[in-house]
Amino acid sequence: MVAPRTPPAPDAAAPGGAYLEDMKRYVGFDADDERALRELHPLVAGDLAAISDHFYEVVLRHPGAAAVFTEGTPQVVRLKHSLVDWLTAGLLGPHDELYYERRSRIGRRHVAIGLPQQYMFTAMNVLRADLHEQISNRVPDEARRATHGAVDKLLDLELAIMLRHYQLEAEERLLRRERTAQSERIVAMQTLSAGLAHEVRNPLNAAKLQLELLERRLRRNQAEPRLLESTELVHQEIGRLTGLLNEFLSFARPTQLSASTQDLCTIVGHVLELERPAALARGVGIVGQSGLDAAAAAAVAADAGEAVASGVRPAGDPIELEVDAGKIHQVVQNLIRNAVEASERGQIVEVAVVRVPDGAAITVRDHGPGIPPEVVSRIYEPFFSTKEGGTGMGMAIVHSLVSLHGGTIAIRNDGGAEITVTLPRRP
């Protein structure tokens, strides 16, 4: 018996067809192997039911594997027929993207029912041994070696596809744990921020009231203008502290969602128009999905020293979701401002809204230096900022508001920073 090859670590980002082709190259599965398997099928078709019976006989000897079959004998009978169909499809092919998708459904089912991975290896070897026995008994000597090799490669492909879904599930569990840990940290910081804001607001309001009383007395007594200038400076600083306090409260106590059906493109388009003056001052272009292409926008921004803004309106119907328009406005505004600040004169910020399964995604991309990995790992932490004078509340608020909608945020560095907010159709 030939031991199964250990496939390379699955690439979760690779499309199914690309993954299958990569695995076929790895195991050396080619047209000759497909032909050998097709020629094997009529020789063993009458024995596939017996192979299936033997397979489940071995499986049911192991309590851990047998525990998966919760419906008893009727379920096993159905699965035996399914295994015959599975073997038939594997021998006859074609081994294309449709084949991959059908196998993937089985892999996802194995993950869903909680079948331990180790049973897949041992079970596959049961099939491997039975098929090799059939080859030894039924295939002519001159074709036997090639047919043995083709069956090994086929079963290695099957294992690779199954294991890919265990890998994807493991990565998804890790992401869920990271998100949970991040949410727990943010909840702790929200509690701290709420307490801090409460303690600061009262003395700040008292100081503002006393300052106003002092100003009125100084004016009534016609005090020196320099004294009034000093009070105006204090007013400005109190205003700055009040603004910072409001940011803390926005993060610490996000209000409940007031969700209604909204066109996401319209919300994002409004933000683009509002952010145009600030981008203009920096000579940075803001380009919506249906606007100028990137090269044209960069040329305009560089030559004219002006920002370019365009609406975000993809072809087709509006992209409608149930969202809180004000909160999504705040999310997009924060992301665009960060992107503009990271850009140099003559560069552009690209904003897109696209449909995704069960929702939509907003992507904001700049062409600046990108976000260092050590910053990415802390980017949602309140009070953490790499900007001089920054409060570190912007991305913390973004995370809080996106989480309220049940959405996710993904950050990618590729010639700049690209941040994608994915929102479900309904919170």
Q: Quote the CA–CA distance of 226 and 323 in Å, as a whole number.
A: 51
Are β-strands 260-263 and 359-365 bridged in parallel, bridged antiparallel, or unpaired? unpaired
Give Cα separations from 72 to 60, 277, 375 (angstroms).
11, 69, 53
Q: Quote the CA–CA distance of 427 and 412 in Å, as a whole number.
A: 24
User: What tokens appear for 48 in the block?
Assistant: 């596939």
Q: Looking at the domain 260-424, which fold is it?
A: Heat Shock Protein 90 (3.30.565)
The pTM of the full predicted model, rounded to 2 decimals, is: 0.50
State the pLDDT at residue 217: 84
Q: Quote the CA–CA distance of 396 and 183 in Å, as a whole number.
A: 11
State the pLDDT at residue 263: 92
State the pLDDT at residue 202: 79
**Coil vs helix vs strand at 110:** helix
The CATH class for the domain spanning 16-178 reads mainly alpha
Are β-strands 408-413 and 417-424 bridged in parallel, bridged antiparallel, or unpaired? antiparallel
User: What tokens appear for 143 in the block?
Assistant: 């074709």
State the pLDDT at residue 301: 43
CA dihedral sign, ordered 102, 107, 111, 116: positive
Those residues whose C-beta lies under 8 Å from the C-beta of residue 97, and which sit 6 or more positions away, are: 16, 17, 20
Q: What is the 3-state secondary structure (H, E, C) of 203-227?
A: HHHHHHHHHHHHHHHHHHCCCCHHH
- Measured in degrees and rounded to the nearest 5, phi and psi for residue 77 equal -60, -45
Q: Quote the CA–CA distance of 58 and 124 in Å, as a whole number.
A: 11
User: What tokens appear for 14 in the block?
Assistant: 């690779």
Spans of all domains in the chain: 16-178, 179-252, 260-424
Peptide bond into 225 cis (omega under 30): no
Q: Do domains 16-178 and 260-424 have the same CATH topology?
A: no
Which residue reads 């309001």 in tokens? 205
Is residue 87 within 8 Å of 48, Cβ to Cβ? yes
Length of the chain: 427
User: What tokens appear for 317 in the block?
Assistant: 């119907």
Residue ranges of the chain whose pLDDT lies below 50: 1-14, 290-310, 314-315
State the pLDDT at residue 271: 92
Which residue reads 């009231």 in tokens? 209
Nearest of 267, 351, 337, 246 to residue 309 by alpha carbon: 351
